[in-house]
A and B are shown apart, each in its own frame.
Chain A
Amino acid sequence: MDTILTAKSLYKSFGSIQALTDINLSIPKGQVVALIGDNGAGKSTIIKILSGVHRPDSGSLWINGNEVNMRSYSVRMARSLGVETVYQERSLGEKQPLWRNVFVGRHLRNALGFIRVKEEKDLTLAMLRNSIGLKGVGISADALVSTLSGGERQGLAISRAMHFNSALTILDEPTTALSVKEVGRVLDFIRSIPDRGNSALFISHNLHHVHEVADMFLFVARGTIAYQCRREEMSVAELFEQLETLSMAPYDHERTVA
């Protein structure tokens, strides 16, 4: 099966704390993969490495079959390779207008670096009309992010990923802080990603949501991928059981050394 992204034996420590140990994962093209695990298991660290925020201590990353030079890998590079991340928080500039937030870091610009403001505002407005949670009356491309609700913010961040039609969309807790209706829209969006041949990787605490949209589950425990399976192999109840077993399991020193 074709994979969009493969990570091979990633290690990461923060000071004396070993955050990740020997992470191996691959995300097939056109599939939705979920990262499941308890708080502090290392899910966010994995995502941050894949999206170019953190640099791993060792290990390699392959995107679209090509090895990535980890020393120059950054958010900018990840995006240019089609890996787009929607973060739970801090992914939007609070005091900035919506259009700046949509295009930050990759504005439509001329050769001198001047932004094509009119075009960006029009695109933003079109995006707001067609996408999740932002159909409120009087919404304008010039509105500031600080005037949006939690759901609208998430919607904006997700529409941004949609607009740039990334090959892999990574979502960090996309359904927290949302109303029931908004959750439905976000899940619909995630489910629609494979329709265009793209993939998604997402973190969620809500196993019902996970089971609803993911094709594959990766269980993270104590900084490593402890178990993985396909959707057909597990019911929601079994997901819960598996997660609980892994969180309760005693720490296995042998595994980290090997």
Chain B
Amino acid sequence: MKTTLYNYRLQLGLLLLLAGLLSLFIYLSPQTFLHRRIYVAFMSTIPFPTLLALGLTLLIVAGEMDLSFPSIMVISGLSFSNVAQATGSPLLGFFAALATGAFAGLCNGLIVVWIGVPAIIATIGTQFFWRGASTLLADGLARNLTNLRDTTFHDILVGRLFDWIPMQTIWCLLVALLFWLLLNRHIFGDDVRFIGDDIGTAKMMGVKTDTVRIALFVIMGLISALASVMVCLEMANWWPTQGEGYLLLVFAAIFLGGTSVFGGQGTIFGTVVGSIIIGILEAGIISAGLSGYWTRLVHGLVIVLSVSLYAMAFSTRRK
């Protein structure tokens, strides 16, 4: 029993942090946090950055990085709205978005793996490229998608189950379960871990490192496309700066969750709980009466503190 508790100390710590924050918010603003409405709102917004964080967790475990996902979102969302409007079928639009996301992810993968540009640099470049391309193609204008509200596809992806649970929460939990299985129980996740641990070792042990790394970037592209289509449907709108706010949230969630900055280790559970904590912070800060300006400061603080704490706990200082 004692050892089980010790093995899960990270997960328990995170849950305690979440419970502590919730209690604090309930104490500070009971009128907001004792009603179901705020939690339904959380369930409609938190899944988007969580999905992105899940995809990025796998990349970070492999020792890679992707800063371009907000822009992959926007270009996939543009494909979605163009195709959905032209054909009248949001399902076709969805496939177009997935294809766009996969292609953008593949580009990242090829630049990083074949050409050998470090992921952080390559994806800064593609981030600007796809954002610029989307703005250019849309003439800088937003797209109204209200006519998709009444489609079955809308209800399946972001409808309200039993008239109150947002479907994006269900999808997000399913993706989390799938990624947990991938990372912990599947040979793909095993390859990902060894690549992040030491790519030389992975090669010597017969892991197809190039294929796995490219696949990870493609998966990130697909996840960005999925998140974008959900955001478009939820907001009934596509706009050229879509996704921009997610970069910070996603990194904060992953590192707070306890995934190692150095690769080789990572936790899907941590990423999900981390995303929830980051997601409720803003509402908590605002309903406690502080101005919205505080949220960025708090998010930044959360990243620095959590990464520092983990670095100290696992003594990762370079010698």
On A, residues with C-beta under 8 Å from B are 53, 74-76, 79, 85, 87, 90-96, 100, 104-107, 109, 113-115, 117, 142
Contact = CB atoms under 8 A, between A and B. Distances in A.
Given A75-B203, A106-B206, A90 B190 contact: no
Q: Give the 6 A-B residue pairs with the shortest CB-CB distance, closest first.
A: A105-B206, A76-B206, A75-B206, A93-B197, A95-B264, A105-B205
Interface string B199-221: 01111111110000000000000
B265 interface: yes
B64 to A, nearest CB: 16
Most buried by A among B181, B204, B208, B260: B204
User: What interface size band does chain B fall in?
Assistant: 20 to 34
B187 interface: yes
Contacts of B264: 93-96
A104 B185 contact: no
A100 B191 CA distance: 10
B194 interface: yes
B206 A94 contact: no
Contacts of A79: 206
19 contacts: A53-B204, A74-B206, A75-B206, A76-B208, A79-B206, A87-B204, A90-B198, A91-B201, A93-B194, A93-B197, A93-B198, A95-B264, A100-B193, A104-B205, A104-B206, A105-B205, A105-B206, A105-B207, A114-B186
Interface in B250-280: 260, 264-265
A106 B187 CA distance: 9
B204 A91 contact: yes
B9 to A, nearest CB: 14
Contacts of B207: 104-105
A115 B178 CA distance: 14
A174 B189 CA distance: 30
Contact of B190 (A53, A91, A100): A100
Most buried by B among A76, A79, A104: A104
Contacts of A75: 203-206
Contacts of A93: 193-194, 197-198, 201-202, 205, 264
B97 to A, nearest CB: 27
Given A74-B206, A75-B203, A114 B185 contact: yes
A98 B203 CA distance: 18
